[in-house]
Structure 1
């Protein structure tokens, strides 16, 4: 049974001076609960990201869909999405700086138990949360759905505090199985507890019901796969329950 929830927007500022606007969802609870940041696909902090935050709240977690571009900018256009995403790559610190600001904003909410934090990211957001984990952020669990796995800098032994779950589509043409193999080598070398689940017949974007529509409109290789989506979400919630509690 889904819990009753409340939602609001939270404005916060990154160290680089960017004004960011997150979407916060939390269960109606008398005591603080574990918190999860939700990092968006390259489209920006859109309705899909907000939906995932609401679902987390219905499962008992406080969630903040973070803004990575500033002023909650969103698009459905690949060239614009690519431009905004690449801007966050220009300075190697931007992604971690903005994600860290989002994590701090989440932890500061009275509804959140700041000792129990996690992160989930989709597509570009997968890179966001992985680089945040690689930076040593105080996270207990990190999950990526069809995420970009290439690091800003490889994880170092003793730095990553989170257990990491990577959910990947076998037919993902944007993040190859070789990329997955390199990621696993990085995790083993850094002695990070991790699991990679590869879903058969799943493409990049498999968790997003709008993936096929976006693929057709932009001529990119995306595809929704309800089986992979549901199995991925079940694996995510199992990890969160294990690492964050009820």
Structure 2
């Protein structure tokens, strides 16, 4: 397995992503962009990229906040996230640059690109689909489902997979219902899975400890994580093969 850190620039600012692929196989393969939580580009998102590489994809865990910008508490995480969200056009620009890097890699078929994100990253991935970027698929793990982007029928090119917790206080039932209505009205092909009793951040093994430490409603669920991962792998297999 090959992996490397890649430093790149967007509007003069430094970002550092992580690329992983199986170098024991030849030929071009689908590429998957991996978008981190509000904690920033850290070991968790790199491990997820490694898992995708082991499954036969070239994965690029991009950086949305800037080189070295990580948080270990909710206040700093919120500040990093809001700084990215409030900079006009920054999210799309940073995503497009990462997508360009992935598409240009020797191992990647540039026509077969997907994106998957976690929490903040899940919301980013869904919004890139809403903007009509040329993605074949998008997977959101416990990402926010509401958006200010107005989706017109036919504008979303990607097929969507959404995994959310049924007891996620940050993504309440009304938000889930509004998302379903939005996507149905826009004629989007999507699937949404809700796990009963499961809270926010369920794919990250660090979620429970963080929730307890900071008094926020996060919790890891091994069962939900495994099911969501297997569902995503089945989705990619159907999408790309």
**What is the TM-score normalised by the length of structure 2?**
0.96
Which structure 2 segments of 5+ residues have no match? Answer: none
Structure 1 equivalent of residue 48 of structure 2: 52
Number of aligned pairs?
Answer: 240
Structure 2 equivalent of residue 212 of structure 1: 208
Structure 2 equivalent of residue 27 of structure 1: 22
**Which runs of 4 or more aligned residues in structure 1 lie more than 3 Å from their structure 2 counterparts after TM superposition?**
none
Structure 2 equivalent of residue 138 of structure 1: 134
Deviation of 1:243 (Å)? 0.7
Structure 2 equivalent of residue 184 of structure 1: 180
Map residues 107-122 of structure 1 onto 2, 5 A cutoff.
107-122=103-118
Distance 1:197 1:121 in 2: 15
Structure 2 equivalent of residue 8 of structure 1: 4
Alpha-carbon spacing, 1:236–1:46, altered in 2? closer, same or farther (3 Å): same
Contact 1:23 1:65 in 2 (8 A): yes
Q: Deviations over 1:97-125 (max 9, x none)?
A: 11111111111111111111001000000
C-alpha root-mean-square deviation of aligned residues, in Å?
1.1
Deviation of 1:18 (Å)? 2.6
Q: Deviations over 1:64-100 (max 9, x none)?
A: 1110001142122110000010111213522111111
Alpha-carbon spacing, 1:185–1:18, altered in 2? closer, same or farther (3 Å): farther
Which of 80, 83, 100 is residue 84 of structure 1 equivalent to? 80
Structure 1 equivalent of residue 238 of structure 2: 242
Structure 1 equivalent of residue 12 of structure 2: 17
Map residues 197-236 of structure 1 onto 2, 5 A cutoff.
197-236=193-232
Q: Deviations over 1:26-49 (max 9, x none)?
A: 112211110000000000011000
**Which secondary structure does the structure 2 equivalent of 1:164 belong to?**
strand
Contact 1:33 1:112 in 2 (8 A): yes
**Which secondary structure does the structure 2 equivalent of 1:25 belong to?**
strand
Distance 1:152 1:97 in 2: 17
Which of 44, 66, 69 is residue 70 of structure 1 equivalent to? 66
Distance 1:67 1:231 in 2: 26
Structure 2 equivalent of residue 36 of structure 1: 32
Deviation of 1:127 (Å)? 1.0
Q: Deviations over 1:122-158 (max 9, x none)?
A: 0000111011111111111100010011224122222
Which structure 1 segments of 5+ residues have no match? Answer: none
**Which secondary structure does the structure 2 equivalent of 1:136 belong to?**
coil
Distance 1:151 1:25 in 2: 31
